Structure 1
């Protein structure tokens, strides 16, 4: 039962991450996108804009991880089971940095 519940928490956690990220782009928080806020504070070390294209790979991989949780022979592997609640922790921090930024 615990693993079934955890799998559905993964689905809802990822859905929340994707929703918050999409809303931050579609309807910027306080009228500014994350990129605009970043541009307001020049710092010595800032990644090139193309560096953020990595999210185009990260989001499908996260979706793949959640889908894998529903495939019995894969989800029972030690590496996958070892994720435990850490995936949910990463979802929480992903949402938090968007809202706090």
Structure 2
């Protein structure tokens, strides 16, 4: 469990450093970055909680089945919520993917 928390700490430290230098180099204030990130973060926390509850509802099932089921629930709910929330990055990515020349 310590490895997981150290990874989370490292990720947020890197995020803070990147936000600081982005605010200086491209005039993108930290508070604006946090505001832009907050929607995605709230959705991700909700989906993580839902995935955790999915695994705890099935205590007598094989671990691999719990992981697969929780992952499927997480993916479907995350994409679904992002599709419904019109300000999510998903709505910015869809036109970019549609306009790609493959």
Under TM normalisation by the shorter chain, which class is it?
A: 0.3 to 0.5
* Larger of the two Rg values belongs to structure: 2
Query: How high is the TM-score relative to the length of structure 2?
Result: 0.34
TM-score, length basis structure 1: 0.34
Answer 1 or 2: higher relative contact order, Cα 8 Å, separation at least 6.
Answer: 1
